[in-house]
Structure 1
Amino acid sequence: MAAASISRGSTYLLLGSSGVGKTLLVKRLQKLCSKDGAKNLGEPPATLPTIGTNLTDLPIGKKITVRELGGCMGPIWSSYYSDCCCVLYMIDAARPTQISSSCVQLLSLLSAEVLASVPVLLIFNKIDLPCYMSLVEMKSLFRIQDIIACAKQSITVVETSARDGTGLSSVMEWFHSTLHD
């Protein structure tokens, strides 16, 4: 019954297709928040695909809770929307075959009325892989400027590699900005 005890003001919803790196991102952010993590992220920890939901607390200014939903839960993501104050949506920048389904999922969550005032962080992950598409290519394929122009939400776009830590500071900056809004 954890869902009933979480307040809308502190839960961040982490969404994305299976295999985009959501679990690794959360583990790396946890490490970054630890005392020694800011100095050395170390090797990426092992992860398993999320089946269901994971709740992770991050001490970022104040304690926030990230609720990661497994990609296989896409059809029921909307049942978790009312419990969140912000959405992180992750896309695999190295998997072009997933672009159209990721875009459909993104448009679906942006059109949800309950999320109309919820800030969104759009994360293009896996930029460390040789086959990744550049941010310019991804923005063009997703028509990000059109989406941002039409969306009711504030949308921030970042590139990351949860594996090597690239871009995690931008994710942390976004978290901090949402605490001060």
Structure 2
Amino acid sequence: MPTIGTGIYSIHFPEKQKPSNPNAPTTTTASKHLPKSIQVLEIGGSMAPLWRQYFEDIKKLIYVVDASNLCQISAAGVLFYSILTEPRLQKVKILLVLTKMDYSYRQMRNEALLMLQMSKLQKQIRQQVQIVEASAVTKVGFPEIYDWLQRP
């Protein structure tokens, strides 16, 4: 079931903490080159016809696919392709998140990527797409998503 509606969130990253011992390493991975916070605009799949009006000034895009629902993966692939071909998004960094991997069986990732035609797409598109498996239940993939968000 696609996300319904929209949401705007701010994510604040921890600042680098100064160690009491100057020779000790810092306690976080943040650096002066990384953003201190980012704004996330969530626009659910049911609002796909409106997506185009939000494509200005986008630097990063996270596209989430429910990998536990094979019936919707092909439809998600069509929408994903329409995003990849959008002229205003040719320089955007893209993270493809395959969610609900805890509900999936071992080959689900490969089947999802096959249904999304990722090997074919990656040969044809300009954008670099990073793929992450994630689960809200087991927290698998969260560190990778968090790191991707912090990269410039």
TM above 0.5, one fold?
yes
1:62 correspondence with 2:62 = no
% of aligned pairs identical?
Answer: 27
Residue 90 of structure 1 deviates from its aligned partner by: 0.3
Separation in 2, partners of 1:166, 1:111: 30
Question: Per the alignment, do residues 77 and 69 of structure 1 end up closer, same or farther by CA in structure 2, a change over 3 Å counting?
Answer: same
Number of residue pairs the alignment of both structures matches: 131
Can you give the 5+ residue segments of structure 2 that lack an aligned partner in the other structure?
14-34
Question: What do the CA deviations read for 1:22-67 (whole angstroms, capped 9, x no partner)?
Answer: xxxxxxxxxxxxxxxxxxxxxxxxxxxx42x211010134110110
Give 1:152's match in structure 2, choosing from 123, 126, 135: 126
Separation in 2, partners of 1:77, 1:163: 28
Question: Per the alignment, do residues 144 and 135 of structure 1 end up closer, same or farther by CA in structure 2, a change over 3 Å counting?
Answer: same
Report what 1:114 is aligned to: 88
Report what 1:84 is aligned to: 58
Report what 1:18 is aligned to: 2
Runs of 4 or more above 3 Å deviation: 130-133
Separation in 2, partners of 1:72, 1:132: 29
Separation in 2, partners of 1:171, 1:107: 21
1:173 correspondence with 2:147 = yes
Residue 146 of structure 1 deviates from its aligned partner by: 1.4
Tell me the amino acid that sits aligned with residue 59 of structure 1. Answer: H
3-state SS of 1:152 partner: coil
Residue 70 of structure 1 deviates from its aligned partner by: 2.1
Question: Per the alignment, do residues 109 and 132 of structure 1 end up closer, same or farther by CA in structure 2, a change over 3 Å counting?
Answer: farther
Backbone CA RMSD of aligned residues: 1.7
Higher relative contact order (CA 8 A, sep 6+): 1
Q: Is the 8 A contact 2:67 2:101 kept in 1?
A: yes
1:73 correspondence with 2:60 = no
Can you give the 5+ residue segments of structure 1 that lack an aligned partner in the other structure?
1-16, 20-49
1:95 correspondence with 2:48 = no
Residue 136 of structure 1 deviates from its aligned partner by: 1.7
Separation in 1, partners of 2:83, 2:106: 24
Question: Per the alignment, do residues 81 and 133 of structure 1 end up closer, same or farther by CA in structure 2, a change over 3 Å counting?
Answer: farther
Report the TM-score, using the length of structure 2 for normalisation: 0.79
Report the TM-score, using the length of structure 1 for normalisation: 0.67
1:127 correspondence with 2:101 = yes
Question: What do the CA deviations read for 1:123-168 (whole angstroms, capped 9, x no partner)?
Answer: 0000011468522222222221211111111110010002321111
Residue 72 of structure 1 deviates from its aligned partner by: 1.5
Q: Is the 8 A contact 1:123 1:157 kept in 2?
A: yes
